[in-house]
Amino acid sequence: MTHSLRIITTPYCAFTQGAGTLRLRLVFYYVRTAACVLWRYFMHIFKVLMGQIRQYKRSTLLTPVFTLLEVVMEILIPYITASLIDQGIEGGSMDKVLHFGLIMLLMAFASLFFGIMSGTFASDASTGFAANLRQSMYENIQTFSFSNIDKYSTPGLVTRMTTDVTNVQNAFMMIIRIAVRAPFMMIISLIMCVKINPRVSVVFLVALLVLAVVLVLIIGHATKAFRRAFRRYDDLNASVQENVSAIRVVKAFVREDYEGQKFTKAAEQLYQMFTKAQKLVVLNMPVMTLVVDFSIIAVSWMSAHFIVQGTMTTGELTSLLSYVMNVLFSLMMLSFIFVMITMSTASAQRICEVLEEQPDIVNPEDPVMHVKDGSIDFEDVDFAYKRRNVSYDDDGNEIITVEDVTKDRADETLHAINLHIRSGETVGIIGGTGSGKSSLVSLISRLYDPVNGTVRVGGRDVREYDLEVLRNEVSVVLQQNTLFSGTILDNLRWGKEDATLEECREACRLACADEFIDRFPDGYETRITQGGTNVSGGQKQRLCIARALLKKPKVLILDDSTSACDTATDSKIRKAFATKIPGTTKLIIAQRVSSVQDADRIIVLDGGTVTAFDTHENLLETNAIYKEIYESQVQGGGDFDEASLSDHFEKAPAAAGQDKPAQQSGRKEAAE
């Protein structure tokens, strides 16, 4: 409202001050442009969302049809009442009373029937629409590449699929039902009023105007307040999801009180914001009652005069009052819908973002469906992650933008990587935290695409393969791996749907998982809780390895996947790999030199650059740093990270590897 006032006063001042019509035109130009932008914005959201109605088109169309029929009945009833009073009661004819009474009864039943039908179709259409929205969002999220996933936070996606969808669902229901009913009811009632008595109707046209102005004022402020409140609601949701899923970490760090206070503060803020918004909306009701009462008094007063003069009947007065109520009630409904729609626009926009997000890694036009062998080549590969920026608009809505990788930071994470790995070779990868080990291997199964250069598997560019074929042949046990709720067997069959029990057992034997599974009373039918919280970190890692092995891949990548296993098990797994799957190319990322020392060759990564790629023996001879780290770990039992390359240069050489408690060896936070 303040905006529109400013818009009106600016040209007025310009005009009176004789600043010419130029400024006036400029103002109109801005207003028109802003209106066009807003219109395009709404139409875009509208188009995307309407595309999701799909199989519920019939219900969506039938709802307003039945609503209109219901309204027609409701409008006609007061009209018949007038005839009943005038011709039946005042005219003293019992036949007429019965005649009109029967018609009214039939109309009331018809109205009830149409109301039930419109309600049924409305709930079918709106819940179906919400289900479609959720399904489409979910399906699109499944096509996201890792870099798409990096853009949205997990709680953010959950909020979009829950709270936001519910907001839009409610607004949709309102639109197809009440947004059709209210204006129709208002217009027809207005016509009926004018038809009954044009002079009396003037009273309540004035009332309508007063009410409209008051409502616009209230809505203008309430919408803003609600938008802010809903934004807080999202924050609260996000905080609950994050803290409840990380409850173990919260407990481990004894942060319950802190988290509790944080939550109380957020809840308190939410309470205050909603109260503020509601306070404005509840004003609607008293204002409405006041205007209605005044209108009724005025209409009755004027009608009394007309009745005395004999220009109006008592029946007409009764129906006139009903129509007055109808019009004002419709206006109130419209105001609520308006608040609801504006409130849900932010939600609708967030849903559209997810629906329209294009996966940036897609299948090529004519994909290669066969991976020849497990050879891997990196040719001049540079890689950097896209940057994610989060900002907030005036209403506090989150705006996420992703910056594409610019030329000057193309090699920020990985720089000029050239590697040639033979099929069937076992390659160890070692390097400090953040040196780019996980990033390097993620390019092989095309979880990300390199910025420059080419990654080849089986002699062909990974971008030429069908994604499913490539990812089935290049099996990655991710550093942050997870198990799903279900039995152990269900989890294993994630790797290969039709795997037999014997195949699963074989994979578990290779991953040294059979020994603990057999100790469980339910064996392979043991239920794993969500996130795999009822198995130990090492057990979880072994199950994840078994799951990857079931695919019988040509390339197997283990990203720090045995860090939570004891050294003996670690060595046993590697030995099993060497003898049982000799043809598979194995890439083993580890923090412990002992985990990679019997690999055919070892890649030493530092700050995104390959500093050496050779056998353990050669590295010991030619690479002083590697040698020192090896010795420090053998003697001190520390892991690679505690004597990382960068540390090595910073600290005095003699200090590297000292003061490392043996029990810490390799025990990273693998249980994540």
Give the residue carrying structure tokens 């990857």.
Answer: 548
Least distance to ligand ATP, CB of residue 457, Å: 19
**CA 158 – CA 38 distance, rounded (Å):** 28
CA distances from 50 to 174, 175, 342, 345, 461 (A): 15, 12, 17, 14, 40
End-to-end CA distance of the chain: 52
Please report, as a single letter, which amino acid is at residue 144: F
Q: Select 232 or 592, whichever has its Cβ closest to ligand ATP.
A: 592
Q: How far is the CB of 642 from Mg ion (least distance, A)?
A: 16
Residue 87 partner contact from ligand ATP, Mg ion, none using kind-dependent CB cut-offs of 5 to 8 Å: none
Q: How far is the CB of 403 from ligand ATP (least distance, A)?
A: 11
Could you give the maximum distance between any two Cα atoms of the chain, in Å? 120
585 binds, among ligand ATP, Mg ion, none (CB under 5 to 8 A by kind): none
Q: Is 479 in the site for Mg ion (CB under 5 A)?
A: yes
In terms of CB distance, is 428 or 436 closer to ligand ATP? 436
To Mg ion, the closest distance from the beta carbon of 64 in angstroms equals 56
60 binds, among Mg ion, ligand ATP, none (CB under 5 to 8 A by kind): none
CB of 439 to ligand ATP, least distance (A): 3
Out of 52, 159, 243, 438, point to the residue binding Mg ion (CB under 5 A). 438
Please, which residue, 115 or 431, has the CB nearer to ligand ATP?
A: 431
Query: Distance of CA 471 to CAs 439, 445, 475, 607, Å?
Result: 16, 6, 6, 27
Q: Which is nearer to Mg ion, 429 or 504 (CB)?
A: 429
The region that residue 375 occupies, defined by phi over 0 for left and psi between -120 and 50 for alpha, beta otherwise, is beta
Q: Which does 181 bind (CB under 5 to 8 A by kind): Mg ion, ligand ATP, none?
A: none
Return the one option of ligand ATP, Mg ion, none that residue 335 interacts with (CB less than 5 to 8 A, by type): none
**Sequential DSSP letters for 373-385:** -S-EEEEEEEE-P
Residues in contact with ligand ATP by CB under 6 A are 150, 385, 413, 431, 433-439, 479, 560
Per the CB < 8 A criterion, the answer to whether 312 and 306 are in contact is: yes
**Partner whose binding site includes residue 475, from ligand ATP, Mg ion, none (CB under 5 to 8 Å by kind):** none
- Give which of 348, 288, 558 is closest to 438, Cα–Cα: 558
In this chain, which stretch among 19-27, 244-252, 400-408, 479-487 interacts with Mg ion, using CB under 5 A?
479-487
Alpha-carbon distance of 623 to 626, in angstroms, equals: 5
Cα torsion 191, 119, 65, 57: sign: positive
Cβ proximity to ligand ATP: between 319 and 435 the closer is 435
Answer yes or no whether residue 442 interacts with Mg ion by CB under 5 A.
no
Least distance in Å: CB of 419 to Mg ion? 17
Task: List the single partner that 132 binds among ligand ATP, Mg ion, none, CB under 5 to 8 Å by kind.
Answer: none
**Which amino acid appears at position 448 of this protein?**
Y
Q: How far apart are CA 600 and CA 615, in angstroms?
A: 6
For residue 385, the minimal CB distance to ligand ATP (Å) is: 3
Q: How far is the CB of 54 from ligand ATP (least distance, A)?
A: 34
d(Cα 229, Cα 226) in Å, to the nearest integer?
Answer: 5
Binding at 439: pick from ligand ATP, Mg ion, none (beta carbon under 5-8 Å per type): ligand ATP
Alpha carbon of 286 to those of 173, 291, 489: distances in Å? Answer: 26, 9, 63
Binding footprint of Mg ion on the chain (CB under 5 A):
438, 479
